[in-house]
């Protein structure tokens, strides 16, 4: 089953258990404006409320994923200080929403992912890149600063020294290097990218949704000590064992078949 919703700056489509949010400002290389952020948040709300959605894929229309802020709009200088703050807060809200989203989020980086595009990518669970795609953090090079908690997340992904190099120099890296340093999970040939992303999303979407939610929550929360984590993991396990999906997993294992999870 496939569902769509109408937006101005993005395209939203659900195909089975996978919802796709496609950035749709190709004439500006999917550069960010305030409405763009607002519609991403609305689309994420749709995906969260839809029990059939297990995985969300973020990608871009055209030759870019997202090249960051629309500098043409910024250069117009027509916004008040309050409007600028609201825009910056929206950017953080989007990254936080992605990072804390209760379902798995994948960034399918089909082209340039720069600035805000790279920040949103850092907030997801998996970055999948085209071989020809590039990702980078040019903020310092143009006199601004990274957002979206990149200075918290990026060092965990690539190490502190490499994170400093990427942010301080602003250089772009391709898919192969992004995978080599631990930023990208997979890199696929350009010609098979869409099919490979779909296959990866389907692989994750077939897993038990309740279990995935707990796993993401625990893996993203680095502030618990060892003893506390033992307790919260036991609580998660007990909740899973009370679900229909747990019984389905046990039955499928005994019957030597693939489980069909329902998120209950």
Closest C-alpha to 129, from 116, 146, 112, 141: 112
Check if the beta carbon of residue 112 is closer than 8 Å to that of residue 64: yes
Closest C-alpha to 151, from 137, 141, 171: 137
Q: What is the dihedral sign for C-alpha 188, 175, 107, 55? A: positive
Check if the beta carbon of residue 165 is closer than 8 Å to that of residue 146: no
Check if the beta carbon of residue 92 is closer than 8 Å to that of residue 147: yes
Instruction: Show the CA angle centred on residue 89, arms to residues 126 and 74, nearest 5°.
Output: 100
- Catalytic annotation, residues: 119, 139
CA distance 188 to 247: 36
Please list the helix, strand and coil fractions of the chain in percent, rounded to the nearest 5, in that order.
50, 20, 30
Joined together, the tokens standing for residue 208 give 């038990």
CA distance 41 to 35: 10
CA distance 125 to 104: 6
CA distance 56 to 209: 13
DSSP 141: G
């Amino acid at each position: 089953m496939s569902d769509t919703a109408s937006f101005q700056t993005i395209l939203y489509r659900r195909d089975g258990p996978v919802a796709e949010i496609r950035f749709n400002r190709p004439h500006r290389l999917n550069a960010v404006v305030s409405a763009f952020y607002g519609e991403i948040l609305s689309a994420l709300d749709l995906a969260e409320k839809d029990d059939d959605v297990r995985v969300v894929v973020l990608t871009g229309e055209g030759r870019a994923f997202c090249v960051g802020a629309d500098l043409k709009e910024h250069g117009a200088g027509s916004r008040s200080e309050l409007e600028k703050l609201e825009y910056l807060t929206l950017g953080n809200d989007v990254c936080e929403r992605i990072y804390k989203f209760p379902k798995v989020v994948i960034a399918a980086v089909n082209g340039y992912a720069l600035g805000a595009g790279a920040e949103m990518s850092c907030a997801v669970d998996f970055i999948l890149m085209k071989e020809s795609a590039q990702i980078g953090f040019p903020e310092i090079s143009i006199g601004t600063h990274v957002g979206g908690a990149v200075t918290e997340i990026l060092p965990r992904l690539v190490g502190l020294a490499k994170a400093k190099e990427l942010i301080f120099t602003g250089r772009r890296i391709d898919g192969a290097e992004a995978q080599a340093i631990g930023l990208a999970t997979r890199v696929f040939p350009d010609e098979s990218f869409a099919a490979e992303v779909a296959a990866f999303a389907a692989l994750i979407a077939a897993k038990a949704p309740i279990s995935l939610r707990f796993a993401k929550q625990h893996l993203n929360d680095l502030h618990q000590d060892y003893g506390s984590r033992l307790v919260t993991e036991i609580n998660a396990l007990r909740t899973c064992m009370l679900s229909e999906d747990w019984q389905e997993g046990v039955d499928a294992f005994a019957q030597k078949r693939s489980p069909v999870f329902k998120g209950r």
